[in-house]
Structure 1
Amino acid sequence: MVEDVVKELGHLSLGTRLKRIGETLQAQTQAVLALHGFEQPAAWFPMLAALDRLGALSVGELSQAVGVSQPVITRSLRGLEDDGLVQSAPGEGDRRVRRVGLSRKGRGLVQRAQREAWPATEAAVAQACAGLKGDLLAQLAALEDALIEKPLLQRVQEG
Structure 2
Amino acid sequence: MEDVVRSLGLLTLGTRLKRIGERLQAQTQAVIEAEGVADIPASHLPVLAALQRLGPLTVGDIALALGVRQPGVTRQLGKLQEAGLVEARQSAGDLRLRTVELTEAGQRQVAHARQHSWPTIEAAVAEACAPHGTALLAQLAALEEALEALPLLARVNRQKLATEEPHASA
Partner residue of 1:28? 27
Summarize deviations over 1:77-128 as a string: whole Å, max 9, x none.
1100000000110112111100000000000000000010000000000000
Equivalences for 1:4-153 in 2 at 5 Å? Answer: 4-37=3-36, 38-132=38-132
- CA distance in 2: counterparts of 1:35 and 1:115, whole angstroms: 15
The one-letter amino acid of 1:22's match is: G
The one-letter amino acid of 1:93's match is: G
Query: How many angstroms does 1:39 deviate by?
Result: 1.8
Query: How many angstroms does 1:61 deviate by?
Result: 0.1
- CA distance in 1: counterparts of 2:66 and 2:82, whole angstroms: 20
The one-letter amino acid of 1:59's match is: V
Give the SS at the match of 1:87.
Answer: strand
Give the SS at the match of 2:93.
Answer: coil
- CA distance in 1: counterparts of 2:132 and 2:116, whole angstroms: 26
Query: How many angstroms does 1:67 deviate by?
Result: 1.5
| Structure number with bigger Rg | 2
- CA distance in 2: counterparts of 1:76 and 1:17, whole angstroms: 24
- CA distance in 2: counterparts of 1:106 and 1:115, whole angstroms: 14
Percentage identity across aligned positions? Answer: 53
The one-letter amino acid of 1:13's match is: T
Please, what TM-score do these two structures have when normalized by structure 2?
Answer: 0.76
- CA distance in 2: counterparts of 1:82 and 1:125, whole angstroms: 30
Give the SS at the match of 2:81.
Answer: helix
Give the SS at the match of 1:99.
Answer: strand
Query: How many pairs were matched up?
Result: 135
- CA distance in 2: counterparts of 1:39 and 1:98, whole angstroms: 25
- CA distance in 1: counterparts of 2:106 and 2:130, whole angstroms: 32
Partner residue of 2:164? none
Please, what TM-score do these two structures have when normalized by structure 1?
Answer: 0.81
Partner residue of 1:144? none
- CA distance in 1: counterparts of 2:82 and 2:39, whole angstroms: 14
Q: Flag structure 1 segments of 5+ consecutive residues without an equivalent.
A: 137-159
- Structure 1: which 4+ aligned runs deviate by more than 2 Å? none
Q: RMSD of the alignment, in Å?
A: 1.7
